[in-house]
């Protein structure tokens, strides 16, 4: 089975959904704990929430397998994203609530981690890199939005409640400053949804790796608090009334990135 699905589109904007997958191969699942098999840290329902992407004809790459198999938003060598802060690994061994993902003594060893990097992590990144390269070759500019969601309260990683919308740009290093300013202005007009720029989440590996504004490849992570569109406890029910309320804000953010990308394309061509 392919490790990702690809939706074709047009234009200089690309969307990535690296934590939307839920599948776990049987040979891995049989060694997991009950908590691990329930994959609680999935970015639940993100494709359904962003259902307007097809209408906008935005190219999209989406993970098929769970981040518990291999976290596509972590460095392949296990390097740290936030030095000094707690993080999860390329092949996580504990949930966000510090529960073991594997039965005792059945965690993946170094050889298995390398095999998962090769079989799950690498194909997704090759697909994403190829998609961005195609867009850049055609339009001269590529803008990547890396879409995520997370529980509004995760004491392991941050105190209190997360803002509704978090924009991450590696403190401005992963994109053109005007793109970030434009999206921040749109976030200011979201109708009551709180937001922050480069707060607790400054962008994971994908934002940091592919955001190269000096090469006209720009990347921003959008982290959404799950309380804005779903129940944050099992069975993680999608709440259409909340989703309908937050979708206009999300669509406005996506459209602002798309519009900036088109304007950037025109300015470079003139």
CATH of residue 225: 3.40.630.40
pLDDT tens sequence across 198-234:
998 899 999 999 999 999 999 999 999 999 999 999 9
Which of 169, 171, 150 has its CA nearest to residue 223? 150
Strand order in the sheet with 195-197: 4-7, 60-63, 13-17, 142-150, 217-225, 165-168, 195-197
How crowded is residue 123: how many other Cβ atoms within 10 Å of its Cβ?
15
This prediction has a pTM of 0.95
Q: How many domains does the chain have?
A: 1
Q: What percent of the chain has pLDDT over 90?
A: 90
Do 85 and 17 meet the contact criterion of CB atoms below 8 Å apart?
no
pLDDT at position 157 is 84
pLDDT tens sequence across 174-184:
999 999 999 99
For 247, the domain range is: 4-269
Does residue 42 register a pLDDT over 90? yes
Burial of 231 (0-12, 13-18, 19+ CB in 10 A): middle
What does the alpha-carbon distance between residue 59 and residue 49 come to, in Å, rounded to a whole number? 16
pLDDT at position 86 is 66
């Amino acid at each position: 089975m392919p490790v990702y699905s690809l939706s074709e589109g047009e234009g200089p904007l690309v969307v990535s959904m690296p934590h939307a997958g839920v599948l776990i191969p049987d040979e891995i699942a049989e060694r997991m704990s009950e908590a691990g098999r329930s994959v609680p840290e999935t970015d639940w329902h993100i494709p359904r929430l962003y259902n307007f992407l097809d209408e906008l004809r935005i190219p999209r790459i989406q993970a098929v397998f769970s981040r518990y198999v291999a976290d596509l938003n972590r460095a392949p060598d296990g390097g740290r994203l936030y030095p000094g802060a707690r993080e999860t690994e390329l092949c996580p061994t504990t949930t966000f609530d510090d529960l073991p993902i594997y039965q005792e003594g059945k965690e993946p060893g170094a050889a298995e981690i390398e095999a998962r990097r090769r079989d799950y992590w690498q194909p997704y990144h090759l697909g994403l890199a190829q998609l961005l390269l195609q867009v850049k070759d055609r339009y001269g500019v590529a803008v990547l939005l890396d879409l995520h969601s997370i529980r509004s309260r995760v004491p392991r990683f941050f105190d209190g409640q997360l803002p509704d919308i978090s924009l991450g740009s590696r403190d401005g290093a992963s994109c053109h400053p005007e793109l970030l300013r434009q999206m921040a202005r749109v976030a200011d007009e979201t109708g009551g949804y709180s937001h922050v720029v480069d707060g607790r989440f400054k962008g994971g590996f994908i934002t940091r790796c592919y955001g190269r504004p000096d090469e006209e490849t720009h990347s921003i992570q959008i982290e959404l608090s799950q309380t804005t569109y779903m129940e944050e406890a099992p069975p993680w029910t999608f709440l259409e009334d909340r989703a309908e309320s937050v979708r206009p804000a999300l669509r406005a953010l996506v459209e602002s990135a798309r519009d900036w990308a088109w304007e950037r394309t025109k300015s470079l061509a003139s």
